[in-house]
Structure 1
Amino acid sequence: MDTLDHTDKRILQLLQQDAKLNTKEIAHRIGLSVTPTYERLKKIEKLGIIRNYVTLLDPEKVGKTLMAYCNVSLQLHSLPLLRKFEAAVMNLEEVMECFHLAGNYDYLLKVVVDDMKSYQYFITQKLATIENIAQVHSSFVMTEIKHTTAFQL
């Protein structure tokens, strides 16, 4: 983060709010001309600070009305088995996020599906087929209170 100055951070804040902003719009908002703004943006991209530009969808408007968090415990914890589990999870389209944890569980999965029937299918026909799972504990989201993708810089 030492390579970013105040202007770079302002550029990143703007892009986190609206990734569709073009270089000219960003330059106008931060008070620079287009060329130095473009050069700063390319530097930020080259450093890998910006991973990707995406479009965030409203889950309900695309029929994804059930969100669950699955705490997964594995039976054995050898590195090959951990990697095998992680590779299998990467191929599950219902899993939006996966975290390897320290604590009571080994992994936390954020799962988004159409409905409870779809979730049951996911658990029984997809997740349960992955070798080495000992337990799965699910928590269902009733109401989303806060959701942000922007980091405070």
Structure 2
Amino acid sequence: MKLDSIDKAILRNLQEDAHLTTKELSNRLNLSPTPVYERVRRLEKEGVIKGYVALVDREKVEKDLMVFCNIRLKEHAQEAGARFVRDVVQLEEVMECYNISGEYDFMLKIVVKDMREYQSFLMNRLASLDNIGSTHSTFVMSEIKSKTALEI
């Protein structure tokens, strides 16, 4: 799907504030509401807009500890890797999971209350998954930059 300048402007505005109504969006873009509404629906239907969320301050909901956990699998057969992926996406503490190249196979972004909760998660939940050879945890001391909006 080719995005034109209006599509890109719609995306920039919605990334900034997903609560914008069609009328507010059309005012910002100097267009009538109907074509703006139709474009937004098309962007949703085509999967360019995957969904809408509320961004929650993790510290205000007592999720103060962020950890990046690198995982090396014991076995790299397709079935074993698929089983790991199927299981890891079920862990609610895992916010993001990436299949990476290099020394490790996967990188997980994990958010929990504190070190005690992370230790429990690591020992009782993550370590119980099949095929984990080793893990390496990196603890975030402070968050310098975190954004959700893509440059369009």
TM-score where L is the length of structure 2 = 0.98
Aligned to 1:104: 103
Runs of 4+ in 1 over 2 A off after TM superposition: none
> Cα offset for 1:47?
1.0
State whether structure 2 residue 86 is matched by structure 1 residue 87. yes
Amino acid at match of 1:60: E
1:128 CA displacement: 0.4
Residue 102 of structure 1: how far off its partner (Å): 1.1
d(CA) in 2 for partners of 1:7 and 1:91? 38
Task: Give % identity.
Answer: 50
Aligned residue in 2 for 1:27: 26
Aligned 1:65-144 pairs, distance under 5 A: 65-144=64-143
Which sections of structure 2, spanning at least 5 residues, go unmatched?
Answer: none
**Inter-partner Cα distance in structure 2 for 1:70 and 1:145:** 19
Shift of 1:21: 0.8
C-alpha distance in structure 2 between counterparts of 1:67 and 1:95, whole Å: 10
Using the TM superposition, give the Cα deviation of residue 133 of structure 1 relative to its aligned residue in structure 2, in angstroms.
0.5
Q: Name stretches of at least 5 consecutive residues in structure 1 with no aligned partner.
A: none
RMSD over equivalenced CA pairs, Å: 0.7
Q: Post-superposition shift, 1:143?
A: 0.5
Shift of 1:51: 0.5
Task: Deviation per CA, 1:44-90: give whole Å up to 9, x if none.
Answer: 11111001100010000000000000000001100000010001101
Aligned equivalents of 2:81 and 2:52: distance in 1?
30
Cα separation, 1, equivalents of 2:44 and 2:130: 38
1:42, distance to aligned residue in structure 2 (A): 1.0
